[in-house]
Amino acid sequence: MTDMIPQDRVLIFDTTLRDGEQSPGATMTHDEKLEIAEMLDDMGVDIIEAGFPIASEGDFRAVSEIAKRSKNAVICGLARANLKDIDRSWEAVKHSKRPRIHTFIGTSPLHRQIPNLTMDEMAERIHDTVTHARNLCDNVQWSPMDATRTEWDYLKRVVEIAIKAGASTINIPDTVGYTAPEESADLIRRLIAEVPGADAIIFATHCHNDLGLATANSLAAVAGGARQIECTINGLGERAGNTALEEVVMALRTRHDIMPWSTEVDTTKIMAISRRVATVSGFPVQFNKAIVGKNAFAHESGIHQDGMLKNRENFEIMRPEDIGLAESSLPLGKHSGRAALRDKLKNLGFDLADNQLKDVFVRFKELADRKKEVFDDDIIALMRISEDAAHDRLQLKSLAVACGTGGPAEATIVMEIDGEEKTATMQGDGPVDASFKAVRALHASDSQLQLYQVHAVTEGTDAQATVSVRLEEGGNIATGQSADTDTVVASVKAYIHALNRLLVRRGKLGQDIKEINYRDMG
């Protein structure tokens, strides 16, 4: 109910684990989902949409475990407008101290054609399904998918039906990123003014970034009366992504003078979770991304640098420390010990257990032997290396490459496949092409390379390269990442990482885990 929270308070509903994970190639493992959920809970997110329980047995188990472990946040499960989905969602979230069922149906003319329902038939289904959810759980959220393209009179009608049936939160999704700020604010404002009972519930906004307006539309909706923003870490999500949590939270904090609303999010934990989501999803953050991008607090222009030296406020509207970004200190080297590395990792937002630190320390020493100085970004790149590598079916043992201007490149690779070492030598158009062909010679795959990206982590010829590889096979998409001072080695490791992820997904299908094809609510 709206009287349960102050009017100047905005609830943050994070859907990184549900809508964010639907971004092609961003599938997370069970343990990664639990880790991200714990980080979200610790940073003060109000509601965590932990998944879509009926989508698969794996999704159900993840939502159930997150519900059991949650300390403060409401744990929410998504359900389509049918009783089976809603029952499955309740079974998953009922273990939470504060459970929520979120059910939805597409209400726009285009989306009504999907279940082939008339307006009256859909209205009846909304009443029946929301009522059923409310009988199971006293915290029910309902969403009219593609609300911003739904006829006004019909949208008012179905919102009223959902409220009367017991929904305590009404979410208004801009499913395809179609709306604009003024329209977004007006839509919420009119619903509150014209729908009976609207003043007694919470309105939420869920925006996509197809036109680059997700953050602006979400903040406009709050100005119109919405008191819940649905968002994801790093703006991860379908197509162009969702509203970015870090953007709306920092906008409300930085411009509190004109947007007098607040959240309970601990902003100093933003960078840590941003980096972790980038790692587990395989989606690196673009350098010029607002708030969390590598260049967000970088200043190269002479005028800017001069102004910064005189007063940081000349060109910084936020402090790096406000989002948990520590000032770069002295780099580490090959003589640095475990304690120094632990302290550095803690400053960068990584709090590791002893066994995790042991593994990272070995990789750090290997890197330090090849680099004179190991900078913060080098350490962050180390953390992106697959933590499950020891259990992967495909592992790189060694790589030798011969290339130059005189002819085709040649790569000889030794891999361990299911515990057995195998060797292959292949030629190709450059060292990366030859190396990838050698991998395929040892492990046959029908996967197609959709993305190959290389970024230098730091400056200099000894800089680490971070490589991202995205593969598609039979409708399954997997992204692999790795880092190394040798770009070819990083490329092969990333390629093998993606292949291992495809094997995991293929294995799930082989165990008859039923994946349900569904259209997301936004």
**260: buried, middle or exposed (CB in 10 Å: 19+, 13-18, 0-12)?**
exposed
Give the long-range contacts of residues 275-279, CB within 8 A, separation 24 or more: 275/348, 275/349, 275/350, 275/380, 275/383, 276/35, 276/36, 276/39, 276/349, 277/16, 277/20, 277/36, 277/233, 277/234, 277/236, 278/234, 278/384, 279/383, 279/384, 279/481
Strand partners, 428: 409
| 257 appears as a binding residue in the annotation | no
Contact 192, 203 (CB under 8 A): yes
Question: Which of 279, 277, 272, 320 is closest to 299 using CA atoms?
Answer: 320
Calpha distance 191→199 (Å, rounded): 9
| 19 appears as a binding residue in the annotation | yes
Other beta carbons within 10 Å of 254: 14
Q: Which residue has the tokens 């940073």?
A: 43
- 3-state helix/strand/coil string of 270-329: HHHHHHHHHHHHCCCCCCCCCCCCCCCCCCCCHHHHHHHHHCHHHCCCCCHHHHCCCCCC
Residue partners of 444: CB distance under 8 A and separation at least 6? none
Contact 317, 254 (CB under 8 A): yes
Angstrom CA distances, 403 to 122, 435, 488, 495, stand at 64, 11, 11, 20
Q: Which two tokens stand for residue 359?
A: 């593994």
Q: Is 425 helix (H, G, I), strand (E, B) or coil?
A: strand
- Residues forming the annotated binding site? 19, 206, 208, 242
Which residues participate in the annotated binding site for Mn(2+)?
19, 206, 208, 242
